Amino acid sequence: MAIGKNVPRVDAVAKVTGRARYTDDYHMPGMLHAGYVRSTIAHGRVTRIDTAQAAALPGVEAVYTFEDVPQTLFATAGHPYSLDPAHMDVADRLLLTGHVRYHGDEVAVVVARDRLTLQAAIAKVAVEYEPYPVMVEGAAALAEGAFEIHAGSRNRIGESRYQTGQDVDAALAAAPIRIESHYRSRIVQHCHIENHIALAYMDDLDQITIISSTQIPHIARRIVGEALGLPWGQIRVIKPYIGGGFGAKQDVVLEPMVAWLTRRLDGRPVQIDLSREECMIGTRIRHPFDIALRAGADEEGRLLAMDLDVISNSGAYASHGHSVAAAGGAKMRSLYPNAQVRYHAQTVYANIPAAGAMRAYGSPQVLFAVECAVEEAARRCGMDPLAFRLKNVVRPGDKDGLTGKPFLSCGLVECLEKGRALIGWDEKRAALAGGQDGPIRRGLGVACFSYASGTFPVCLEIAGARIILNQDGSVHVQVGATEIGQGSDTVVAQMAAETLGIPYEKVHVVSTQDTDVAPFDTGAYASRQAYVVSNAVKRAAEELKEKILAQAQYMTGIDSAALDLQGGAVVYVEAPERRVMLLGDLALASYYDKEHGGGQLTADVSLKTRTNAPTFGCTFVEVEVDIPLCRITIREICNVHDSGRILHPIMAAGQVQGGAAMGIGAALYEELLVDAESGWIYNNNLLDYKFPTPVDIPEIGWAFVETTEPTSGYGNKSLGEPPIISPPAAIRNALWDATGVKIDTLPLTPHRLFRHFKKAGLI
Amino acid sequence: MRQTIAITLNGSPRRFDVDVRQSLMEVLREQAGTLSVKQGCGVGECGACTVLIDDAPVDSCIYLAVWADGRAVRTTEGECRDGQLSPVQQAFVEEGAVQCGICTPGFVMAATALTERRPGEPLDRDAIRRGLAGNLCRCTGYATIVTAVEKCICREEE
Ligand code: FES
Ligand code: FES
């Protein structure tokens, strides 16, 4: 039995010894290095480009400009292909562009024999621009007659709305307590430690092989095919270990370019390895949201209705387009299903870097607004914010307001109770009840979230698993699901061991996905993998087990129904301590017996999951605020999650701590600064964009409320993304509790605190 | 301009012919084949390229290869001997201090220096955090890494 145990992580030794290979560790003799010439303005048109000096530099192999690339627009989002034309991603990219749309846009590409020459050559490409009006904020891009960032778009990428209940307006009008506010989040960048990198080469005249740091190898294959107008089968994408992605690599960024370059350069290997500075602007960011929210509650503390109006800023290119705003709105619905909700969102272009997927995909922005408003409703009712939430949050048996489907596994109330005890909510609140007036004040905050375990029914959910019995009785498992640090290979091994009935150590998971051989799966995103892969692995393991037992019957004459596989041996169902034969002996006979046997016993399953389990949780935090220094210190913080059954407690805790740490970064420190007038980016490096270091992150507590989700193979639900969602609102609510100052824009930097404290007369 | 440097790499004497503009990180990755040395920024911000030079942690991306001439360089490859993980590596495995793993070799070296520096001297979690402040990890939130180092120090004390 491997599920629920802290088995050794399958890739831990490879990683601590430095032997795990990442994309940059695949060097090829004669490999060329390519790099972009990036625009020095945020919006405009190239009027002249002179590459002669760069091309003349010894060691430069080629320089291509936007005039040399194919003129087929393509979409980059790491979404499954859609058969419905209305649901296709927005195709608004070329490999290079003469119309630059953000500070750092790609106008030319240089290929050189070594990196030093490459950098020198890039600096020698001379570019002149005609500037266009710069629009940094979504509202500016939406204004009547605004300059079109993409011709014909009116700067709009998408729009959606939904409503639950009878009449949100009437409910709000009748509500004795009404809240109306505006919530904003600013630009956050993923900052995975391995920057984007990809390498491509050709072994013959048709096939292009790409090695890439991607979360989505199978999707990348399709998009490269689309971008270059090539049959998808000619593209092969290999994904080795990757050094973090958090959504920025759920997008096709470098792959089409390296593929195009190797074709232009006789199949020679070409690598693009972005610098940190490029990676922070030239890949993806988190969408900044502006949310106008109205909410209503009654005096008994019932949340009656919420009305959200969202502008999601997608920046220079559509990438994931409107999906992020739509998903954030849809996943929020499970949290307070008894309140009526109206959700309207628009996604727009602007002259900032392109926004894409980032951990929890729209939910952090939407739930920040919701949990700030709920806090206000609670306080206006004169209620403990925790008691208010306990009264209103989802409970088992509640139904989704739109689909009418009941929530099957749901432990949010228990999460809140557990967090209450962990942080000592009641005692701490009682201690603070007397009020504070010194320069250092304490406050308590709580916030909840709801999320999902995939993208169904909006997108396809498909997973593949292949399990092969080796000659020695061990198995190899191949999945299309990608390990990106979250531990997916390890839980796949646990699942296979559990269902097959063999020791965990006998399961080898092939970590690398190679689209030529790996089963099809769309990849790591939406916290989907452990959920959707569970059903595929389980079914494959069951099929293989059946074949193994049939082989045992064949060899022994004992009815397979009387046999089971346990601990790596065939045993009697009725008497598991009685061993019939070792799996290794069975496998040898199956492979090599000249007369009999099934050969290589293999199960190969491709499965579509047509369910999507909501997950829940909350953050509790106690802060200390130094008013004169405008600084927030977290004294205590803990996240409590209902993620169904916990497959691996240590790794699950790691997801919670890592995600909550990212949430703390977004709450207190992180913002990519864009000049409001010029669109210039000030801090695209890790010194000036400060994501938390070891000394900035407090000890993060965690706990789980284990439920069993009936729609998943092992009772598990999503966990990878959710921990990032609720810390910011909890911290903001604690700041309010401590100081009486409520701030509706993230991040809560000293700069922002200073302005608000000043206005409130605190300093 | 090129220059020949002699270093002791993970205990073995090695000579490399280097471009004087090259960083130690580049030479370790491209010539020595010690691919555990990772690059996260190339300018001294992230610590992914941390190696030990005469047992002190250094960002090898901003350390010229020629400066290493005559010195002893340690990378993560050298910490595992005869198939045995070092105490730090072992603790990282046990405590779940590894996620995507790209920062791990750098952290292993920084933590090795920290645990070796003043043997027997107790370090609390805050001191460990300060000792690792030059290394960034975006996956773990650091707690498991701090616990791993704490465990090594406790083991040494036993
Ligand atoms: S790569 Fe050397 S410090 Fe980041
Ligand atoms: S484990 Fe991914 S950056 Fe540290």
pLDDT tens digit sequence for A190-247: 999 999 999 999 999 999 999 999 999 999 999 999 999 999 999 999 999 999 999 9
Whole-number Å distance between alpha carbons of A330 and A457 = 11
Residue B12 shares a structural domain with residue B48: yes
Most B CBs within 10 A among A5, A10, A13, A193, hence the mutation to make, goes to A193
- Predicted local confidence at residue A569, as pLDDT: 97
A360 and A485 fall within a common domain: no
| Domain-terminating residue out of B22, B54, B78 | B78
Task: Report whether pLDDT(B153) > 90.
Answer: no
> Which one of A191, A193, A691 would you pick to mutate in the ligand 2 pocket, going by the greatest count of ligand atoms within 8 A of its CB?
A193
Q: Which residues 90-119 of A are in CB contact (within 8 Å) with B?
A: 116
Q: How many CB atoms lie within 10 A of CB B45?
A: 19
Residue A723 lies in a domain: yes
Same domain, A296 and A438: yes
Q: Residue A250: which pLDDT band, with cuts at 50, 70 and 90?
A: very high
Distance of CA A582 to the CA centre of its chain: 42
Rounded CA separation A54/A110 (Å) = 8
Q: Count Cβ neighbours within 10 Å for each residue of A426-440 and write b for 16 or more, e otherwise.
A: eebeeebeeeeeeee
Same domain, A629 and A693: yes
Does one domain contain both B74 and B28? yes
What is the C-alpha separation between A44 and A328, in angstroms, rounded?
32
| Residue A508, in any domain of the structure | yes
Residue type, A456: F
Whole domain around residue A564: which residue ranges? 457-608
A492 and A443 in a common domain: no
Q: Quick check: is A84 in a domain?
A: no
Selected residues 555-614 of chain A with any CB under 8 Å from a CB in chain B = none
Judge if A650 and A665 occupy the same domain: yes
Q: Point out the domain boundary residue: B78, B95, B110.
A: B78
In this model, does residue B119 exceed pLDDT 80?
Answer: no
- Per-residue pLDDT tens for A579-617? 999 999 999 999 999 887 889 999 999 999 999 999 999
Pair A512, A26: CB distance under 8 Å = no
- Nearest CB neighbour to B45, from listed A9, A486, A687: A687
| Amino acid found at A336 | Y
Confidence of residue A732 (pLDDT cuts 50, 70, 90): very high
What domain range is B96 assigned to? 87-157
Spatial distance between the Cα atoms of B82 and B114, rounded to a whole number of angstroms? 23
Over range A369-387, report the average pLDDT: 98
Per-residue model confidence as pLDDT tens digits over A681-715: 999 999 999 899 999 999 999 999 999 999 999 99
pLDDT at residue B157 tops 70: no
CB of B103 closer than 6 angstroms to any ligand 2 atom: yes
Indicate if A297 and A444 belong to the same structural domain. yes
* A 302-361 near B (Cβ less than 8 A): none
Same domain? For B65 and B98 the reply is: no
Which tens digit of pLDDT belongs to each residue from A387-413? 999 999 999 999 999 999 999 889 999
Q: Are residues A525 and A396 in the same domain?
A: no
Judge: A485–B139 Cβ closer than 8 Å, yes or no.
yes
Average of per-residue pLDDT across B56-82: 97
The contacts of residue A39 (CB under 8 Å, 6+ apart) are: A46, A100, A102, A103, A104, A105, A106, A107, A127, A129
Question: Where would I find the H helices in chain B?
Answer: 24-27, 87-95, 104-117, 125-131, 143-157
Quick one: B59 and B92 in the same domain? no
pLDDT at B156 over 70: no
Whether residue B37 is predicted with pLDDT greater than 60 in this model: the reply is yes
Q: Average pLDDT for residues A158-187, to the nearest whole number?
A: 96
Three-state DSSP class for residue A399: strand
Region A65-91 average pLDDT: 94
Helices (H), A8-131: 12-16, 52-55, 115-123
Give the ligand with the smallest distance to the CA of A245.
2
Tell whether A672 and A719 lie within a shared domain.
yes
Confidence of residue A460 (pLDDT cuts 50, 70, 90): confident
Beta bridge partners of A317: none
Decide if A649 is inside a domain. yes
Is B103 in the same domain as B49? Answer: no
Residue A191 φ/ψ region, left for φ over 0, alpha for ψ in the -120 to 50 degree band, beta for the rest: left
- The ipTM (two decimal places) reads 0.98
Inter-chain touch B100–A685, beta carbons under 8 Å:
no
**Ligand sitting nearest the alpha carbon of A487:** 2
Domain boundary pick from A608, A630, A664: A608
Nearest C-alpha neighbor of B46 from the set B97, B89, B106: B106
CB atoms within 10 A of CB A218: 25
Q: Which residue of B has its CA nearest to A22?
A: B102
- Strand extents, DSSP E, A213-275: 235-239, 270-273
| Residue A742 placed within a domain | yes
Please tell me whether residues B7 and B73 are part of one structural domain: yes
CA B49 to ligand 1 centroid distance, Å: 5
Read off the pLDDT band of B158 (50, 70, 90): low
Q: Is the model's pLDDT at B154 over the cut of 80?
A: no
Asked if B36 and A193 come within 8 Å (Cβ–Cβ), the reply is: no
B89 chain-A contacts, CB cut-off 8 A: 16-17
B6 and B74 both lie in a single domain: yes
Whether residues A585 and A709 share a domain: the answer is no
Per-residue pLDDT band at A435 (split at 50, 70, 90): confident
Q: Are residues B97 and B54 in the same domain?
A: no
Total of domains in chain B: 2
Q: Is B99 in the pocket of ligand 1 (CB under 6 A)?
A: no
B136 CB less than 6 Å from ligand 1?
no
Q: Is residue A346 a part of any domain in this protein? A: yes
Count of the separate structural domains present in chain A: 2
pLDDT at position A87 over 90 = no
The 3-state DSSP class for residue A548 equals: helix
Give the mean pLDDT of A90-98: 97
**Chain-chain contact of A686 with B46 (C-beta, under 8 angstroms):** yes
Last residue of a domain, one of A552, A573, A608: A608
The answer to whether A476 and A502 have CB atoms below 8 angstroms apart is no
* SS3 state of residue A74: strand
The answer, yes or no, to whether residue B15 has pLDDT greater than 70, is yes
Q: What are phi and psi of A603, to 5 degrees?
A: -125, 135
Residue A738: pLDDT band (50, 70, 90) is very high
- Does a structural domain hold residue A449? yes
> Alpha-carbon distance A178 to A307, whole Å?
11
> A676 and A732 share a domain?
yes
The tokens describing A378, both together, are 């609670």
Least Cα distance to A429 among A442, A439, A413, A447 occurs for A442
Strand order in the sheet with A303-313: A156-163, A340-348, A303-313, A289-297, A177-184
B158 Cβ neighbours under 8 A, 6+ residues apart: none
Backbone angles phi, psi at A472, to 5 degrees: -95, 10
Q: For residues A360 and A364, what is the distance between their CA atoms, to the nearest angstrom?
A: 6
Min CA distance, B55 vs chain A (Å)? Answer: 18
pLDDT of residue A103: 98
Which atom of ligand 2 is nearest to B139's Cα?
2
- Taking every pair of Cα atoms in chain A, the longest distance, rounded to a whole number of angstroms, is 91
Closest CA to A306 of A369, A355, A258, A247: A369
Q: How far apart are CA B97 and CA A704, in angstroms?
A: 20
State the average pLDDT over residues A20-27. 96
Closest partner residue to B100 (CB to CB) among A484, A657, A662 is A484
Which one-letter amino acid corresponds to residue B142? Y
Q: Hey, is the C-beta of A14 within 8 angstroms of any chain B C-beta?
A: yes
Out of B35, B38, B45, name the one closest to residue A686 (CB).
B45
Average pLDDT, chain A: 97
Give a yes or no: residue A96 inside a domain: no
Angle at A664 between CA A14 and CA B114, to 5 degrees: 45
Give the number of beta-carbon pairs within 8 Å between A and B: 173
Geometric angle at alpha carbon A721, from A716 and A725, rounded to 5°: 120
Q: Are residues B72 and B7 in the same domain?
A: yes
**Does residue A465 share a domain with residue A378?**
no
The residue among A251, A487, A449 whose CA lies nearest residue A369 is A449
Q: Among the three residues B78, B96, B117, which one is the final residue of a domain in this structure?
A: B78
B107 Cα nearest atom in ligand 2: 4
Q: How many CB atoms lie within 10 A of CB A165?
A: 16
Q: Are residues A661 and B100, on separate chains, in Cβ contact within 8 Å?
A: no
pLDDT (tens digit per residue) in B126-141: 999 999 999 999 999 9
Percent of chain B with pLDDT over 70: 98
Atom index in ligand 2 nearest the CA of residue B97 equals: 1
| Nearest Cα residue in chain A from B81 | A17
Shortest-distance ligand to the CA of residue A20: 2
The count of other CB atoms within 10 Å of the CB of residue A114 is 13
> Which of A321, A328, A322 has the alpha carbon at shortest distance from A361?
A328
How near does any CA of chain B get to the CA of A479, in Å?
18
Mean pLDDT to the nearest integer, B103-110 = 98
The CATH number given to whatever domain includes residue B11 is 3.10.20.30
Chain B closest-CA separation from residue A230 CA (Å):
33
Which of A550, A573, A608 corresponds to the end of one domain? A608
Q: Residues of B with CB below 8 A from A650's CB?
A: 95-96, 144
Number of C-alpha atoms within 13 angstroms, CB side, residue A667?
33
CA distance A657 to A680: 34
Mean pLDDT of B58-70: 98
Omega before B57 cis (within 30°)?
A: no
In the DSSP assignment, the letter for residue A80 is P
**B72 and B13 together in one domain:** yes
Are A654 and B137 within 8 A, CB to CB?
no
Domain containing A368 — which CATH number?
A: 3.30.365.10
User: What single-letter amino acid sits at A93?
Assistant: R
Question: Is B85's CB within 8 Å of A242's CB?
Answer: no
CATH of the domain at B109: 1.10.150.120
| A374 plus A470 within the same structural domain | no
Contact (CB<8Å) B77/A17: yes
User: Which mutation among B29, B39, B103 tests ligand 1's pocket best, with the greatest number of atoms within 8 A of CB?
Assistant: B39
In which band, very low, low, confident or very high, does the pLDDT at A675 lie, cut at 50, 70 and 90?
Answer: very high
